[in-house]
């Protein structure tokens, strides 16, 4: 028998499993924690920002502004 204790099962003892995973597999554990926090923050942060009085930021432009007037043709690239 090896000296390593077997990993606990998640559904039998979830808190013990989370403690084990945070010690033995921290990269997986914390990446899952951060990934689960994203949807929660999407739902909670905007109402909190409105409550605190932050005005809505200007709209993000969806197109690039096209300059008015004729557009000069590039020359000197020898691609014709």
In a domain, 38, yes or no: yes
Q: Give the model's pLDDT for residue 30.
A: 93
Q: Locate 68 and state its tokens.
A: 């008015």
Average pLDDT over residues 57-73: 82
Contact 27, 36 (CB under 8 A): no
The Cα 26–Cα 12 span in angstroms is: 21
The SS3 of residue 44 is helix
17-62 pLDDT, tens per residue?
Answer: 888 889 999 998 999 899 999 999 999 988 898 898 887 777 778 8
Q: Count up the domains in the chain and report the number.
A: 1
Per the structure, the complete domain to which residue 38 belongs is given by 7-56
Residue 41 in any domain: the answer is yes
pTM over 0.85: no
Is 78 contained in some domain? no
Indicate if the pLDDT at residue 3 is higher than 70: no
């Amino acid at each position: 028998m090896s000296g390593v204790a077997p990993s606990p099962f998640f559904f039998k003892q979830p808190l013990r499993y989370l403690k084990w995973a945070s010690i033995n597999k921290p990269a997986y554990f914390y990446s899952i924690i951060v990934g689960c926090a994203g949807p929660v923050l999407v739902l909670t942060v905007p109402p909190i920002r409105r409550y605190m009085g932050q005005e809505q930021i200007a709209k993000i432009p969806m197109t690039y502004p096209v300059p008015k007037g004729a557009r000069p043709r590039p020359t000197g690239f020898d691609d014709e």
